Structure 1
Amino acid sequence: MELFCLENETYRRAQKDPNIFCDERVLQSLLTLEDRHVPQRPYFKSVQNDIQPFMRRIVATWMLEVCEEEKCDEDVFPLAMNYLDRFLAAVPTRKCYLQLLGAVCLLLASKLKACQPLSTKKLCIYTDNSITCQQLLEWELVVLSKLKWNMAAVTPLDFIEHILHKLPIPEDRLTLIRKHSQTFIALCATDHSFTMYPPSTIATGSVGAAVCGLQLQEKEHNMWGYSLMEMLAKITNTEVDYLKSCQEQIEQLLANSLKESQHPQKQEGGATSKTPDSQTLSCTPTDVRDVNL
């Protein structure tokens, strides 16, 4: 009798270990390590002369769209943005290399977090073939060298489950809150003003914004016992006022994003590309060539 190995297109992930979220030492270790992976200065003022904040946002939006198109794990995009910010905080970079840097960061993050890493060929296609596979491989070594091979960075997503585990939220609400929180975290990663916030603060602010946006706190006031903000601040050892400021900034960013989506600008050039076998590959709508204007 012959044995066949049948591989599924979907990848099965390990179930969450409840012991990780019950042990306080895990959360404390994350809080101790998170500052090591945060840029220590606002690099647009001190390091980058050719790159502006709006350019970073264009490339970040493109990177997010690539992750969505390729159905990457939710961990890939925040980690890739962490690599990009740390590199820009250390190395003056010309704007013509910004999309190449973004593609390299996606490649590295997918190798660390995804079951199936992004292919260099597809990344080149998503750039409308403005970069080559050889450039990706060369810059991969450059980024690894500049980041000193310290790639296991702590991101806001690492804190989400720890925070939700400590909140008195019914099980049937957790999935929705988790999804909204992940969306807020991705949105924050596209905006440079959140670069200096610790990952734990962005995570708690995102959870707070998700709960308030779904109006769960008012409906379940007796369950909270005291204010949600105080509970979140206690979980991550954050000052309440600092956390409030972060949450308000997240909510304002969401409002601005929704307003922009209602008045989309026409974009050309990066909408579709073709693979060598002439099959149409759906690509991202963001035209990163705007960076060079």
Structure 2
Amino acid sequence: MYPNANKENISASDVQANFVRLTRSRAKTALGGGVSIPPTKPSFKQQKKRTVLKDVSNNTSADNIYSELLKGGNIKANRKCLKESKKAANEDPSIAMEILVYMHTEKSKLAEDLSKIRMAEAQVAPVSNSKDEEITDQQDEDGSGVMDFLQVEDIDFNNNDPQCCSLYAADIYDNIHVAELQQRPLANYMELVQRDIDPDMRKILIDWLVEVSEDYKLVPDTLYLTVNLIDRFLSNSYIERQRLQLLGVTCMLISSKYEELCAPRLEEFCFITANTYTRAEVLSMEIQVLNFVHFKLSVPTTKTFLRRFVKAAQASYEVPLMELEFLANYLAELTLVEYTFLRFLPSLVAASAVFLARWTLNQTDHPWNPTLQHYTRYGVAELKSTVLALEDLQLNTSSCTLIATREKYNQAKFNSVAKLISPKRVTSLFSR
């Protein structure tokens, strides 16, 4: 659906004129109508006012397993042998069990071999035979010699925390990198689909949701998933500005149910809108959103990648640097309110946040190294445009007055990383 030529445009200056200090006690009107500011839940913290945006299968058969193993050269058998094996398995169940065990063992070996090959191919440019021999000489039984040669730290080695899933981490992130290419919101849905809202209204809504997530102490994943659901829904469904806030609180309700151990009740989300929307309206919108996304809520966000990339960045320090983690998270959250960042993959945004965070904290060394390049799968040149755009957000070159994220990371519990700015522009790294 293409926008009408007479589409009403509301500029940033018009919006800001109505919001003297957005999402704070002096907000007056929100995208077309004046609304009083509802208090947040008094039980969490002292009562304060906020803006109300009124207008605003892995089911693999035996045939498939055998085919994969035959292609990998791990089973030296032809089709005739395969048929005979199946026939014998039908006659004797014990033979079937032996075949399954053998297939599992061979497939595990194949997976290990492929993992080592991917690791080498990701880092080694075309090298001479002498280099290949050098790698082979250094390689031991578990293949760690390749990583030593490439100066890549193994961040999954000997990790005793079962929640890190060290044994499967590489395969998990292989799948996540593929999944981020699917179910992405359109980078230009405001121009193609929406006629009654614009990027500034989206920015105001998400800035307000940042405050809501802070007041209710929601985990960061809830906020990221909320924004993802909003953008996916708006990419295909037209919505009036009067229902934009309803969409926002509904997506946060869904995300809370998915990510939180104890999600706020539906009535809480009605309350934070000063009961502008009823329980029935929120439930109706919840049905629309869930049906639209086909209940596919397990999507990789910037936060998904950021955890692993920060871990890779910390490998170069003797002691983990908490400021690095806080600053990378701050920079990543700044991108949530910016509609223009939808054109970048979540993994690219996460890698750029780590790059800029390391540069902000230390300008004496280059922020990128073989370990980060290996785990993020991005070279310095690929990060350039995203890093430069992210630095503009950090420096607030557009003089944006929406400050919820900045105030959040100005708190002592985050070491006030929002105040950190590099004395040297990151542009110097890309001009060499």
TM-score range, shorter chain: 0.7 to 0.9
Distance 1:128 1:21, change over 3 A: farther
CA distance in 2 between counterparts of 1:211 and 1:144 reads 39
Between the two structures, name the one with larger relative contact order (CA 8 Å, sep ≥ 6).
Answer: 1
Q: Which of 345, 352, 356 is the equivalent residue of 1:198? A: 345
Report the TM-score when normalising by structure 1.
0.76
CA distance in 2 between counterparts of 1:175 and 1:184 reads 14
Range with greater deviation from structure 2 (21-30 or 241-250): 21-30
Say which one has the larger Rg.
2
Q: Which of 140, 147, 169 is the equivalent residue of 1:23? A: 169
User: Do residues 249 (structure 1) and 385 (structure 2) align?
Assistant: no
Whether contact under 8 Å (1:208, 1:247) holds in the other structure is yes
Q: Which of 265, 276, 289 is the equivalent residue of 1:143? A: 289
User: Do residues 119 (structure 1) and 265 (structure 2) align?
Assistant: yes
Range with greater deviation from structure 2 (164-173 or 100-109): 164-173
Residue 54 of structure 1 deviates from its aligned partner by: 0.2
2:244 maps to what in 1? 98
CA distance in 2 between counterparts of 1:257 and 1:106 reads 29
CA distance in 1 between counterparts of 2:167 and 2:195 reads 43
CA distance in 1 between counterparts of 2:384 and 2:173 reads 21
Range with greater deviation from structure 2 (151-160 or 252-261): 252-261
Residue 200 of structure 1 deviates from its aligned partner by: 0.3
Whether contact under 8 Å (1:27, 1:162) holds in the other structure is no
User: Do residues 183 (structure 1) and 323 (structure 2) align?
Assistant: no
What is the correspondence of 1:39-54 to structure 2 with a 5 Å cutoff?
39-54=185-200
Whether contact under 8 Å (2:190, 2:199) holds in the other structure is yes
1:236 maps to what in 2? 376
Deviations 1:161-183 (A, max 9, x none): 22123233326443221222222
Q: Which of 280, 284, 307 is the equivalent residue of 1:161? A: 307
RMSD over aligned Cα, in angstroms? Answer: 2.6
Query: What's the secondary structure of 1:20's corresponding residue?
Result: coil
Distance 1:161 1:20, change over 3 A: farther
Distance 1:263 1:165, change over 3 A: closer
Query: What's the secondary structure of 1:36's corresponding residue?
Result: coil
Match of 2:311, as an amino acid? H
Match of 2:166, as an amino acid? I
2:358 maps to what in 1? 211
CA distance in 2 between counterparts of 1:18 and 1:174 reads 19
Match of 1:181, as an amino acid? A
Deviations 1:186-241 (A, max 9, x none): 211111111121110111111112111222x52xx3xxxx6517754443223533
CA distance in 2 between counterparts of 1:229 and 1:54 reads 37
Match of 2:350, as an amino acid? A
Query: What's the secondary structure of 2:182's corresponding residue?
Result: helix
CA distance in 1 between counterparts of 2:331 and 2:199 reads 19
1:84 maps to what in 2? 230
CA distance in 1 between counterparts of 2:162 and 2:399 reads 37
Match of 2:242, as an amino acid? C
Match of 1:235, as an amino acid? Y
Whether contact under 8 Å (1:104, 1:140) holds in the other structure is yes
Range with greater deviation from structure 2 (117-126 or 50-59): 117-126
Q: Which residues of structure 2 form unaligned runs of 5+?
A: 1-43, 45-160, 405-432
Residue 22 of structure 1 deviates from its aligned partner by: 7.1
Whether contact under 8 Å (1:37, 1:82) holds in the other structure is no
Whether contact under 8 Å (1:166, 1:235) holds in the other structure is yes
Deviations 1:245-291 (A, max 9, x none): 11111110121179445999xxxxxxxxxxxxxxxxxxxxxxxxxxx
Match of 1:156, as an amino acid? T
Deviations 1:34-85 (A, max 9, x none): 1113214410111111110000000000111100111101111111000000
Whether contact under 8 Å (1:74, 1:182) holds in the other structure is no
Residue 98 of structure 1 deviates from its aligned partner by: 0.4
Query: What's the secondary structure of 2:343's corresponding residue?
Result: coil
2:425 maps to what in 1? none
1:170 maps to what in 2? 317
User: Do residues 75 (structure 1) and 221 (structure 2) align?
Assistant: yes
Whether contact under 8 Å (2:328, 2:357) holds in the other structure is yes
User: Do residues 128 (structure 1) and 274 (structure 2) align?
Assistant: yes
Report the TM-score when normalising by structure 2.
0.52
CA distance in 2 between counterparts of 1:196 and 1:249 reads 12
2:156 maps to what in 1? none
